[in-house]
Amino acid sequence: MSGTTESAPEGNTEYGRKPFKRSKSHFADRITADGRDGWPVEPGRYRLVVSRACPWASRALASRRLLGLEDAISLAVVDPLQDDRSWRFTLDPDDRDPVLGIRFLHEAYDKRETGYPGGVSVPAIVDIPSGELVTNDFQQITLDFATEWSALHREGAPDLYPEALREEMAEVIEGVFRDVNNGVYRAGFATTQYDYELAYEDVFRRLDALSARLADRRYLVGDHLTEADIRLFTTLVRFDAVYHGHFKCNRNKITEDPVLWAYARDLYQTPGVGDTVDFDHIKRHYYEVHTGINPTQIVPAGPDLSGWLEPHGRERLGGSPFGDGTPPPPPPADEVIPGGPQA
CA–CA distance, 311 with 217 (Å, rounded to integer)? 17
CA torsion 67-41-61-159 (nearest 10°) is -30
Does 98 map to a domain?
yes
Q: Residues 227, 304: one domain? A: yes
Known binding positions: 87
Q: Which of 101, 125, 157 is the last residue of a domain?
A: 157
Q: Residues 120, 253: one domain? A: no
Q: What is the CATH number of the domain that holds 21?
A: 3.40.30.10
Q: Residues 147, 197: one domain? A: no
Tell me, yes or no, if the pTM score tops 0.95.
no
Q: Is 298 exposed, middle or buried (0-12, 13-18, 19+ CB in 10 A)?
A: exposed
Does 333 map to a domain?
no
Q: Residues 136, 35: one domain? A: yes
With a CB cutoff of 8 Å and minimum separation 6, the contacts of 37 are 29, 30, 31
User: For every one of its 343 residues, what pLDDT tens digit does the chain have, with 9 covering 90 and above?
Assistant: 544 444 333 333 333 345 655 555 689 999 999 999 999 999 999 999 999 999 999 999 999 999 999 999 999 999 999 888 899 999 999 999 999 999 999 999 999 999 888 889 999 999 999 999 999 999 999 999 999 999 999 999 999 999 999 999 999 999 999 999 999 999 999 999 999 999 999 999 999 999 999 999 999 999 999 999 999 999 999 999 999 999 999 999 999 999 999 999 999 999 999 999 999 999 999 999 999 999 999 999 999 999 999 999 999 999 999 999 999 999 999 999 988 786 5
List residues bridging with 133 in a β-sheet.
126
Answer for the pair 253, 241: CB distance below 8 angstroms, yes or no: no
Range of the domain at 268: 163-327
Distance of CA 164 to the CA centre of its chain: 24
Q: Residues 150, 251: one domain? A: no
Q: What is the CATH number of the domain that holds 194?
A: 1.20.1050.10
Known binding positions for glutathione: 87
Query: Could you say which DSSP state residue 81 is in?
Result: S
Residue-wise burial string across 213-248, b where 16 or more C-beta atoms lie within 10 A, e elsewhere: ebeeebbbbbebbbbbbbbbbbbbbbbbbbbbbbbb
Active site residues: 54, 185
Q: Which of 102, 125, 157 is the last residue of a domain?
A: 157
**14: number of Cβ within 10 Å:** 8
Q: Residues 202, 95: one domain? A: no
Does 58 map to a domain?
yes
Number of structural domains found in the chain:
2
Does 332 map to a domain?
no
